[in-house]
Amino acid sequence: MTSLEITNWQDLQSEFLNRIQSRQWKPGELIPNEADLADEFGCARATVNRALRAVADTGLLVRRRKAGTRVAVHPVRKATLSIPMIRSEVEARNQSYSYALISLDTKKPAANVRAKMGLDKTAKALHVRALHLADGKPYVYEDRWINLATVPTIGAVNLEIQSANEWLVANAPFTEGDIAFSAASADAIVAEIMNVDLNEALFVIERNTWNNGASITSVRLTFAPGYRIHTTI
């Protein structure tokens, strides 16, 4: 019983989404296997597979070998968001980007940073603090630690001119990373640097990156008031 002869995986994906949404396929229910669906739509199994994988990637289907494919009971929607370089982000808003180094030292990091970066107690790291500006106004305050053992050449870079952010993106590719989003009140230091009120609510991104297990950098980015990250689901 070919219903419509869909031979294109994106149309198939839409059809599957419709069936889930219209409850023709109900939460928790087993849906037909790939071979049957391929038969129904008059296309190859690989095409059905591609479409089903795409839907499963959004969290609406759960697939297991032998057990088959089921409609997720508690759909966990997944959102993909892009994390651009700060300069790109500012320029994408048609604002002029500028950058100012605040401080630069080589010293032993505090215990929490040391732990995140997997440094031993005596190890020193490069501490960089900088301000990124959009149209001359504070946009992001960057507080960063860089592992000199992993990225020794950073020592030769003039961080007054080029931000560590940019240099690292271009010169220290990473294999693993984690990222966290949170909210924090401006403390006295941040309030002064960013020219905001004390205790103002600011958006914070913390990121750690590794290259094959070796820590590269740990950074905390504090954004100006009003900042938001937006994406579609």
Partner DNA sequence: GAGTGGTCTAGACCACTGT
Partner DNA sequence: CAGTGGTCTAGACCACTCC
Number of residues that bind DNA (CB under 7 A): 25
Binding characters for DNA, 45-74, by CB under 7 A (x = yes): xxx-xx-xx--x------xxxxxxx-----
Candidate ranges 14-22, 35-43, 62-70, 147-155; the one touching a copy of itself (CB under 8 A)? 14-22
CA-closest candidate to residue 141, choices 200, 82, 205 = 205
Angle (CA) 108-83-188 rounded to 5° is 50
Measured CA to CA, the distance from residue 43 to residue 40 in angstroms comes to 8
The least CB distance from residue 170 to a copy of itself, in Å, is: 7
Tokens (6 digits) for 69: 């494919």
Quick one: what does residue 80 bind among a copy of itself, DNA, none, with the CB cut-off 5 to 8 Å set by partner type? Answer: a copy of itself
Give the 3-state secondary structure of 98-149.
EEEEEEEEEECCCHHHHHHHCCCCCCCEEEEEEEEEECCEEEEEEEEEECCC
Tokens (6 digits) for 96: 């002029």
Residue 173 in contact with a copy of itself, rule: CB under 8 A: yes
Residue among 176, 189, 192, 195 that touches a copy of itself (CB under 8 A): 176
Residue 18 in contact with DNA, rule: CB under 7 A: no
Cβ closest to DNA, residue 67 vs residue 188: 67
Contacting positions for DNA (CB under 7 A)? 7-10, 33-35, 42-47, 49-50, 52-53, 56, 63-69
